[in-house]
Amino acid sequence: MLRRFFDANTLPCVIDPVKGPAVKAAASTGKACIKDRPECYPGARCTDGQPLVDTTTSLVATQCPLVYCIEAGGGTPTKDEAKCEDTVVKSLVKYVGFINKCYDKCAKSEQAGKLPAGSCAPALGAGAPPPTDAKTVECLGKAFTKTQAGIDTKCVPLVSRPTCYGATDGNAWATLVRGLVWTQTVDIVCGSPSGGFLN
């Protein structure tokens, strides 16, 4: 499946059985779950992180042709277009980390009894209410704004943006990734995490 999305130079790195990102993610998940597995997690998930690892890999792979649309179409980007594409990727990877930190901090406060249960529930779907914790909402807002601005610094003016992006700007990219992250939270944060799992 992955061969459909990654070229011959990138695929070996992605599927490396020792140093590949999927292998590292599986090992990291297993290490965290050994301390204290969330009751709502099936046992296998805490062994290798599946199916979450494969799902995340597929989500990333399917976005690659959208970001690197010039290369996906058989073309070669200009220097400015390449900078824009690379900035989109780097900014969105950081954004996923920012979102995680916002929710992780909230979940730890909830676990410690500093926040009511359900305060950290993510917004799922259009029009869904955001978390009720104001600090988490503020944290997520700052992360979104920072990501949007970071992308637009290299992808604006339009001459720097690949024509195959169309009207897709920093706001659109951040919105897309935010939606992809939130679709996974139901499986990842399926119940109130224990202190052992969060640490």
What is the reported pLDDT for 72? Answer: 87
pLDDT tens by residue, 104-148: 898 889 888 999 888 887 766 555 557 888 999 899 999 999 999
The dihedrals phi and psi of 130, each to the nearest 5 degrees, come to -75, 175
Q: What share of the chain is helix, strand, coil (3-state, %, to 5)?
A: 65, 0, 35
Asked whether the beta carbons of 11 and 5 are under 8 A apart, the reply is: no
pLDDT (0 to 100) of residue 28: 81
- 125 — phi, psi (to 5°)? 90, 160
Other beta carbons less than 10 A from residue 142's beta carbon: 12
Mean pLDDT for 84-94 is 95
In this structure, of 17-21, 68-72, 194-198, the range with the lowest mean pLDDT score is 194-198
The Cα–Cα gap between 187 and 26 comes to 15
CA 194 to chain centre: 22
Give the global pTM.
0.79
For the ranges 3-7, 30-34, 66-70, which has the lowest average pLDDT? 3-7
pLDDT at 37 over 70: no
Name the residue with tokens 């390449």: 82
Which pLDDT does position 82 carry in this prediction? 93
Residue 174: pLDDT band by 50, 70, 90 thresholds?
Answer: very high
Using a pLDDT cut of 70, give the percent of the chain over it.
78
